[in-house]
């Protein structure tokens, strides 16, 4: 029996690659992509696509009913840097879209939900190195506040209504196939594009700003693995810490120089520096490794190779 999947926010940085991967796994006709506009031609043309506003409960409910949806991946969100410019809309989108799918699951109209959280749930008072799964969480950004509140609601709906919701706290995500989406870790994508096109890069963070990062291939795999794990293995219903590598702008620049010896980087920190400073430098994800056997494939060197090979194409 094939599973029917709805991806909300399918044209975003993660949604784009998640859609392609899930279609490859489950069959094109079983994965319904949706977004507020037809923002990505590959996603729109590669299988069923619906225009939907994540803030409109009736639209989502209608899609779930007509397509007989079993699982929803809710990827629609306003990310850290963008959310700071429009706090009330960010809160509205990030929270109400979550309530819509939680309430559909509570009403037994869908069986399983994936909702992404983020390292933005942590704040300046959180231990910076090897940030534990359970620790002080006092986020200082709109995005982080919405994600932390979302985690609490996910756990509540699981405990009180038995909703099968699964979540990971994504670190900064790096991908060659889709452009950055307005996050504080975007420099780690942009730097590769500029290395190839201009052989130089001006970074909006300072050179020693260390942050947890992950290659998109690993992030997509983690997303699918947590959704495929038996329910009894998923012991944390707020959101799992997830880690792969941590590095600074200087370290990624040195790695790029192995491929482009004349590459140069300058630093001009902007408002995103303050956001980055409030986040962890590295993450302890031992619960994910233990509960559902998470393990990353890419480190900085391997990722840099893969990024440059694919971008040069």
Edge-first strand listing for the sheet containing 49-51: 49-51, 31-35, 5-8, 71-74, 112-114, 165-166
Residues 6+ apart with CB under 8 A from 88: none
Catalytic residue among 73, 143, 201, 215: 143
143 has catalytic annotation: yes
Query: Six-digit token pair at 62?
Result: 């209608």
Residues 6+ apart with CB under 8 A from 102: 113, 153, 154, 157, 163, 165
Which residues are designated catalytic?
143
């Amino acid at each position: 029996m094939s599973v029917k999947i709805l991806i909300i926010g399918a044209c975003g940085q993660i949604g784009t690659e998640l859609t392609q991967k899930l279609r490859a796994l489950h069959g094109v006709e079983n994965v319904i992509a949706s977004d507020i506009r037809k923002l990505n031609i590959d996603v729109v043309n590669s299988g069923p696509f619906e225009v939907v506003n994540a803030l409109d409960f009736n639209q989502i409910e209608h899609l779930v009913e007509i397509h007989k949806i079993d699982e929803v991946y809710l990827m629609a969100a306003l990310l850290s840097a963008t959310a700071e410019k429009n706090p009330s809309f960010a809160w509205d989108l990030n929270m109400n879209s979550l309530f819509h799918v939680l309430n559909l699951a509570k009403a037994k109209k869908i069986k399983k939900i994936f909702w992404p959280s983020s390292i933005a749930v942590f704040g300046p008072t959180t231990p910076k190195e090897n940030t534990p799964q359970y620790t002080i969480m006092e986020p200082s950004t709109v995005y982080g506040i919405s994600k932390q509140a979302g985690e609490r609601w996910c756990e509540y709906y699981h405990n009180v209504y038995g909703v099968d919701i699964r979540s990971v706290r994504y670190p900064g995500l790096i991908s060659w196939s889709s452009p950055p989406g307005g996050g504080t870790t975007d420099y780690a994508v942009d730097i590769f594009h500029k290395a190839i096109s201009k052989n130089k890069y001006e970074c909006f963070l300072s050179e020693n700003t260390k942050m947890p990062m992950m290659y998109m291939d690993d992030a997509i795999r983690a997303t699918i693995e947590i959704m495929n794990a038996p329910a009894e293995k998923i012991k944390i219903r707020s959101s799992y810490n997830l880690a792969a590598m941590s590095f600074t702008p200087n370290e990624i620049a040195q790695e790029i120089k192995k491929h482009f010896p004349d590459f140069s980087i300058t630093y001009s920190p902007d408002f995103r520096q303050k956001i980055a400073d409030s986040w962890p430098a590295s993450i302890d994800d031992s619960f994910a490794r233990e509960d559902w056997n998470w393990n990353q494939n890419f480190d900085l060197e391997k990722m840099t190779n893969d990024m440059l090979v694919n971008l040069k194409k």
